[in-house]
Amino acid sequence: MNTISRLQAYALAELSGIYDEDETRFLCAVVFEKFFRFAKIDIHLRKHEALPVAGVNKFVAVVAALRRGEPIQYVLGEAVFAGLVFKLNKDTLIPRPETEELVEWVAGSKGSRTGQRGLDVGTGCGCVAVALATRVPGMTWEGVDVAAGATRAARVNARTNGARVSFMTRDFTLFRRWEWPVYDLIVSNPPYVRVSERATMHDRVALHEPHRALFVPDDDALLFYRVIGEFGRQYLAKGGELCFVVYEALAGEVAGLLEGMGYGDAEVRRDLFGKDRMVRCSR
């Protein structure tokens, strides 16, 4: 079992019933690139070439982890987001495609943001703040997260991606404990899944991703949107913006909540799948 062809056949057999064939082939391609630096074309042209034993052993270990239900991003310890590589750990949520769409929405806004200050609430691995820092020149970015492990990873990710971002470890629901500067832009992909919905989630999410980054109480699904809205009434500059990722079923409620708090121009945007996944408003 020392060639791409044999390793791929091994993975297809081992992961049958867990992933479909196309998913398994995709995961294999990710691992081949990671351990052997093989591009997609190499998988076809060099499929019978003998591979280093160390790389083969790593591949087998990855397949074993995938059989246990561990997400590939945690197995490899990294994920690609907005074209950048981010290191992950047990305190960081896996970056989501809809969050990448939020970054593109914000970065594509017209007008200069030179000299402005931005805050990423619930920053996790720092993917939003770091990606925006590389796409919106001239802005000063900060990120805040309740988990020290998350902010440690975020600092590493900022450094390796050449972004100047400051990170703080704070419980944002208690934001009144600290002094804050005034921000021109606040972005967040906050927790919004009700605890009771955990049973409906795939085990790869429910058993491996940090619960504090996923779940909110059943009776307060808009908890973090309300807290960030309250924060913004004190620390968001006039004309400044709040930009969120939202659960599709709650997009209208989030927009209504923010309008009820005095924010204007609330806009709901659909993702590439046609789902209402982003909300933006201004002060």
Q: In this structure, are residues 129 and 152 in contact, taking their beta carbons and an 8 Å threshold?
A: no
Write out pLDDT tens, residues 6-43: 999 999 999 999 999 999 999 999 999 999 999 888 88
Longest CA–CA separation in the chain, Å: 65
Confidence of residue 1 (pLDDT cuts 50, 70, 90): confident
pLDDT at 100: 97
Write out pLDDT tens, residues 64-98: 999 999 999 999 999 999 999 999 999 999 999 99
The region that residue 244 occupies, defined by phi over 0 for left and psi between -120 and 50 for alpha, beta otherwise, is: beta
Over its C-alpha atoms, the chain yields an Rg (Å, rounded) of 21
With a cut of 90, say whether residue 282 has pLDDT above it: yes
Q: Please write down the HEC assignment for all residues of 164-202.
A: CEEEEECCHHHHHHCCCCCEEEEEECCCCEEHHHHHHCC
> Could you count the other beta carbons within 10 Å of the beta carbon of residue 180?
15
pLDDT at 2: 87
pTM score: 0.92
pLDDT at 275: 96
Helix axes 21-36, 53-67, angle to 10 degrees: 140
The mean predicted confidence, pLDDT, of the chain is: 95
| Partners of residue 223 on adjacent β-strands | none
Confidence of residue 142 (pLDDT cuts 50, 70, 90): very high
**CB within 8 A of 16, min separation 6: which ones?**
24
pLDDT at 225: 98
> What is 80-282's CATH topology?
Rossmann fold (3.40.50)
Write out pLDDT tens, residues 198-223: 988 888 898 899 999 999 999 999 99
With a cut of 80, say whether residue 110 has pLDDT above it: no
